[in-house]
Amino acid sequence: MGKIATIARRSFLIGSAAVVGGVAFGVYKVKQEATNPLLDDLPQGATALTPYVRIDGQGVTLIAPRAEMGQGIHTTLAALVAEELDVAWDSIRVEHGPLGAAYYNRVLVEHNVPFSDLDHSVGAEAMRGAMGVVAKLLPMQVTGGSSNVADLFDRMRVAGAAARFALIAAAAQKLGLSATQLKTDNGNVVAPDGRRLTYMELAPAAAAIDLPTSPQLKRREQWRYLGKSMLRVDMVAKCTGTATFGIDVRLTDMVFATVRMNPAKGAALVKFDATGAKAMRGVLKVIDLPGGVAVIANNTWRAFQAAQSVQCDWAEPGYPGSTTAMMEAIAASMTEKDRDSRLRDDGNVDKALAGGTVPAVQEAEYRVPFLAHATMEPMNAVAWLHDGKLDVWAARRTRQRRVTWRPRLQASTPHRCTCMSC
C-alpha cells in the first residue's frame, strides 16, 4: 500500500516469548503506535500478537479485521495473506478480530465525503486524504459499503510479505546462508541443498527480525490464488451444520424473547391487548415497546406463538402504503432539475444527436419495486447481564460473534464493545 510508509517491528512484536513456539506479523501505520487489540485476551504464557497474521504451533491463523456477513471476505483475506506468505491457502485458519484501532476502515471513511466517486478533482482528493487520517484517529471499525477489498487488498498482502521476509531472514541466520539463496514453499523455507525449515520452527527467531519498510510483493503473473475462483473457507462448516450461528448459543437459565413490530417502518403501536398471550403456557412477560411489543417465554416457539396472539392496533405509516403510490409520490415530487442525475457530463450529446453519429433516439422508463435487504438467518442475539457487564453474542448472518459491553452504571464506567461492526 502506497500510504504505508513504515513497518516497525516494535509496533507489532511486543514481548519476548512466543505462542506455542510461534510469533505473529501484521501491518499498521500511524504516528503513534497502536495498542495491539489481541493483548487483552491472550492464552496463558502467550506473547503479544500482531493484528492480522498469527503463526504458532498449529500453523497460520488470519485475524480478520472485518465481519464475515456472507460476502466471502474471510475467503478473500485468506487468499491475500496466503499469496504473499507462500502457504497453502486452505491451510489458513480464520478468526474474527476483536475491537482494535488497527482494524480501522480507511476506505469507507474516505468515501464518506460530499463528492461523487467519479470526482477526482484536487478538492475531492484532498478531502478524501484528510478523511483517511480521521479514520486512523477515530478509529471506525466498520464492515460495510463494499469497502473490504479496497481497504485491505494491499494491507493484507503487505502483512503476508513482511512475515515471509522475516522468516527467510531467520532461516538465513540459522543456516549461515544469504537470504537470496533461500526460497519459500508452502509454509517452509527451502535451502539450495533441499533442507526445509518450517515457518513454525523459525517463528521465534523471526520475532527478532526488523521488518522492511516496503516488502517486495509478488507480481501478478506469480499469483496462485488471487484472481481465481476459490472455494469458501466456511463452506464445509455451513454445509455440515457444524458452524455456530448466533441462534445456536445456549446459556444456563436462558429465556427466549421475540418482538412484534408495526409492519409499517417507523409507525407507532396505538394500543394492544396481551391478555391471551400472558395466559399461554411458558410465557413469562409481555413488554410494551415503541412501535411494538416483546414477548419473553421459556422457549422460542412459545414466544413466537404468544407474540402472534397479541391483539395490536397499528398506526398508519407516514408514507404511501403501496409501491404504486410510492412511485406516484416520487414522480410528483421531482422537478426537471431533479430528473438530471448525471454524475458525469463528458462530451456534447446535442451535437452527437444532430450530427447523425447516433442512429436513433430511444427513450425508456424503468421502475423496480422496493425490496427488503433481509438476512438469511433470523435476526437474533443472545445477551447475558452479570456483574455489571453485558455480554452479547451477536449474529452476523453467518457465524456468531461475542460482544462485551459494560453499561453505564456510573458516570466513570467505560463502554467496551468487541463487535465487528462498531
pLDDT recorded at residue 258: 96
Within 13 Å, how many C-alpha atoms sit on residue 208's CB side? 9
pLDDT recorded at residue 213: 67
pLDDT(165) > 60? yes
* Number of Cβ within a 10 Å radius of residue 160: 28
Q: How many residues does the chain have?
A: 422
Q: Which range is least confidently modeled, 148-152, 284-288, 413-417?
A: 413-417
What's the whole-number mean pLDDT along residues 165-194? 94
pLDDT recorded at residue 70: 80
pLDDT recorded at residue 221: 93
Give 146 or 353, the one with higher predicted confidence: 146
pLDDT(305) > 90? yes
pLDDT recorded at residue 274: 97
Across 332-407, the runs of DSSP E, i.e. the strands, are: 381-386, 389-395, 400-405
Q: How confident is the model at residue 293 (pLDDT cuts 50, 70, 90)?
A: very high
pLDDT recorded at residue 183: 95
Whether the Cβ atoms of residue 334 and residue 296 lie closer than 8 Å to each other: no
pLDDT recorded at residue 417: 32
pLDDT recorded at residue 40: 66
- Kindly write down the DSSP assignment for every residue of 28-96, as one continuous string: ---SSPPPPGGGGGPPTTPPP--SSEEEETTEEEEEESS--SSS-HHHHHHHHHHHHHT--GGG-EEEE
pLDDT(306) > 90? yes
296 has which bridge partners?
257, 285
pLDDT(47) > 60? no
Q: How far is CA 288 from CA 60, 219, 244, 276, 313, in A?
A: 49, 60, 31, 15, 13
Q: Which range is least confidently modeled, 79-83, 163-167, 219-223, 308-312?
A: 163-167
The amino acid occupying position 295 is V
Of the candidates 151, 219, 211, which has an alpha carbon nearest to the alpha carbon of residue 26?
Answer: 211
pLDDT(120) > 60? yes
pLDDT recorded at residue 421: 33
What are the b/e assignments for 374-412, b being 16+ CB within 10 Å?
Answer: eeeeeebebebeeeeebebbbbbbbbbbbbbbeeeeeee
What CA–CA distance (Å, rounded) separates 358 from 173? 69
Share above pLDDT 70 across residues of the chain, in percent, rounded to a whole number? 77
What CA–CA distance (Å, rounded) separates 134 from 351? 45
Q: Which range is least confidently modeled, 162-171, 351-360, 368-377, 395-404?
A: 395-404
What's the whole-number mean pLDDT along residues 236-246? 85
Q: If you ran DSSP here, which 8-state letter would residue 22 be given?
A: B
pLDDT recorded at residue 185: 93
First vs last Cα of the chain: how many Å apart? 25
pLDDT(177) > 70? yes
Cell 452527437 sits at which residue?
Answer: 352
Whether the Cβ atoms of residue 155 and residue 4 lie closer than 8 Å to each other: yes
Beta-carbon contacts of 125 under 8 Å, excluding residues fewer than 6 positions away, are none
Q: How far is CA 413 from CA 23, 365, 406, 407, 418, in A?
A: 34, 56, 7, 7, 16
pLDDT recorded at residue 362: 76
What CA–CA distance (Å, rounded) separates 354 from 357? 8
Across 68-175, the runs of DSSP E, i.e. the strands, are: 93-96
pLDDT recorded at residue 202: 87
Beta-carbon contacts of 403 under 8 Å, excluding residues fewer than 6 positions away, are 391, 392, 393, 394, 417, 418, 419
Whether the Cβ atoms of residue 317 and residue 265 lie closer than 8 Å to each other: yes
pLDDT recorded at residue 136: 76
Summarised one tens digit per residue, pLDDT across range 182-221 is 999 999 999 999 999 998 888 878 877 877 768 899 999 9
Question: CA-based angle 180:183:185, to the nearest 5?
Answer: 170
Instruction: State how far Cα 272 lies from the chain centre.
Output: 39
Q: Is 125 exposed, middle or buried (0-12, 13-18, 19+ CB in 10 A)?
A: middle
Q: How confident is the model at residue 118 (pLDDT cuts 50, 70, 90)?
A: confident
Share above pLDDT 90 across residues of the chain, in percent, rounded to a whole number? 30
What the chain holds in terms of domains, given with CATH numbers, is 9-105+141-240 (3.30.365.10), 246-314 (3.90.1170.50)
Summarised one tens digit per residue, pLDDT across range 376-414 is 767 888 999 998 888 888 765 444 444 544 433 322 222
* Number of Cβ within a 10 Å radius of residue 253: 5
What's the whole-number mean pLDDT along residues 258-269? 94
pLDDT(296) > 90? yes
pLDDT(34) > 80? no
Mean pLDDT for all residues in the chain? 78
pLDDT recorded at residue 193: 94
Of the candidates 418, 373, 416, 420, which has an alpha carbon nearest to the alpha carbon of residue 396?
Answer: 420
Q: Which of 40-54, 222-236, 359-373 has the largest mean confidence? A: 222-236
Whether the Cβ atoms of residue 369 and residue 394 lie closer than 8 Å to each other: no
